[in-house]
Every structure is written in structure tokens, then in C-alpha cells.
């Protein structure tokens, strides 16, 4: 009886799965870049991290196209895609926002809410994908905005960073609400997260 090979799971990956992993690598790199900026204060590190999110978006778009082209869509691929998206379009944008100065107590709550909404959005999609496909091979629409739309927040932060409007100079300043601080800019995360988990917002899937 032959013994199972080490790393046999990796050998079973399809081409599309490697693009999905590239998406996750970009998101992880963005988180590390945010941490590096907080450590050394070099804005270039922050901008590099922000640039990795559009790259993650490209890989995210390509993995689905490649899977359909090669006709190898699988449950494993869908789960991989969701996990990668949580990193690149949920955790990474939140980490970049924190690095930019959204560090008040209420900011933490909102950023955590945003990530939680992203996780919930992807979980709902995974369990309802077959229903939304209505018997076909492809989902016809998204319930709630897709999590990669958080790329728009990263673009907004990149403009702020480029203009030096981060840290104490962050756009719209800060409010003291009870024991904690709130930076109004963080409310774009609250809006984005709320749109993700909406059941009434339906976005056609192209």
C-alpha cells in the first residue's frame, strides 16, 4: 500500500487556485506593509501596501475567468476564493485604515464591524450560490455589494496618503464621543460593510 505523498493537496490545485493564492499573498503583503509603516513611518511602505490591493483585485478577477475557461470550477476553489477575499478585501483595507490614523476606540469598533460584514457576506454567498444561479452554472446577481468593492476605500486612502492627510492630519479630523475617539472618515467602512450584508441591494454579476 503506497503512503500518501507530502503536500498532495498542492498537487491537486488547478491553475485558477494559484491565482486565488496570489490574491491572498497580495492581501497579506498589504497587512505587513501597514505594520511596517506603523513601525518605521515611511509613507512609501504604506503606498506599496495600498498598491497590492488593486493587484489582488486583478488576481481575483482572473481566477474565476480561468476556472470557467478550463471548466474546473470546484467547491475547493470557491472556498479558497472566499478566504483570500477576506484577507485582501476585508482585513487588509481595515489594517491600512488603521495605519492611516483610524485608531480611536470607535474606529476599532467600526473597522471590526466592516471585517465582520465581509466575512458574513462571503459566507452567505457560499451557501446561497446554487440558489442564486437558479439552476444554471453561473450566479446571476450578488445580494449586497461584493467584498472587492472595498478597493474603493483603499483608493480613497491612497489619495489621502499621497496628500499627507493621514495621522493627525487625516481628513475630517476626529470627534471625542464619550471615552473614545471617532474619526469621521471611518464611516466609509461602516457604509461599505452595511451594503455588503444588505439583502435588498442586488448587483448583476457580469
Taking the mean position of all CA atoms in its chain, how far away is CA 178? 31
Instruction: State residue 139's pLDDT score.
Output: 62
CA distance linking residue 180 with residue 103, whole number of Å: 10
Instruction: State residue 14's pLDDT score.
Output: 72
Q: What is the mean pLDDT of each run of 10 residues along the chain (206 residues)?
A: 56 75 96 97 96 96 72 70 94 98 97 97 80 56 87 97 95 95 98 93 72
| 177 DSSP assignment | E
The answer to whether 150 and 193 are in contact (CB under 8 A) is: no
List, in sequence order, every residue forming a beta bridge with 180; answer none if it has no partner: 177
Looking at 41-89, list the stretches that DSSP marks H as alpha helix, in order from N- to C-terminal side. 43-70, 75-86
Q: Cell match 483570500: residue?
A: 84
Instruction: State residue 167's pLDDT score.
Output: 95
The pTM is what? Answer: 0.87
Pairing mode, strands 202-204 and 175-177: unpaired
Instruction: State residue 118's pLDDT score.
Output: 96
The answer to whether 196 and 190 are in contact (CB under 8 A) is: no
- Which long-range contacts (C-beta less than 8 Å, at least 24 apart) are formed by 82-85? 82/122, 82/123, 82/125, 82/126, 83/24, 84/20, 84/21, 84/23, 84/24, 84/27, 84/56, 84/60, 85/23, 85/60, 85/118, 85/122, 85/147, 85/148
Instruction: State residue 201's pLDDT score.
Output: 81
Domains of the chain, with CATH numbers? 8-204 (1.20.120.1760)
Amino acid at each position: 500500500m503506497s503512503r500518501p505523498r507530502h503536500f498532495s493537496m498542492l498537487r491537486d490545485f488547478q491553475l485558477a487556485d494559484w491565482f486565488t493564492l496570489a490574491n491572498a499573498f497580495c492581501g497579506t503583503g498589504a497587512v505587513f506593509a501597514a505594520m511596517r509603516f506603523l513601525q518605521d513611518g515611511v509613507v512609501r511602505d504604506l503606498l506599496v501596501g495600498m498598491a497590492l490591493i488593486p493587484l489582488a483585485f486583478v488576481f481575483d478577477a482572473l481566477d474565476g475567468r480561468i476556472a470557467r475557461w478550463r471548466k474546473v470550477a470546484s467547491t475547493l476553489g470557491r472556498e479558497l476564493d472566499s478566504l483570500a477575499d477576506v484577507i485582501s478585501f476585508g482585513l487588509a483595507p481595515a489594517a491600512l485604515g488603521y495605519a492611516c490614523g483610524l485608531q480611536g476606540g470607535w474606529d476599532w469598533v467600526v473597522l471590526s464591524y466592516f471585517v465582520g460584514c465581509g466575512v458574513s457576506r462571503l459566507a452567505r454567498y457560499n451557501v446561497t450560490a446554487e440558489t442564486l444561479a437558479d439552476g444554471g452554472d453561473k450566479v446571476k446577481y450578488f445580494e449586497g455589494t461584493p467584498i472587492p468593492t472595498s478597493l474603493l476605500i483603499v483608493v480613497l486612502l491612497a489619495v489621502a496618503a499621497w496628500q499627507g492627510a493621514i495621522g493627525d492630519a487625516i481628513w475630517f479630523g476626529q470627534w471625542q464621543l464619550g471615552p473614545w475617539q471617532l474619526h469621521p472618515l471611518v464611516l466609509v467602512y461602516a457604509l461599505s460593510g452595511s451594503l455588503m450584508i444588505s439583502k435588498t441591494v442586488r448587483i448583476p454579476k457580469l
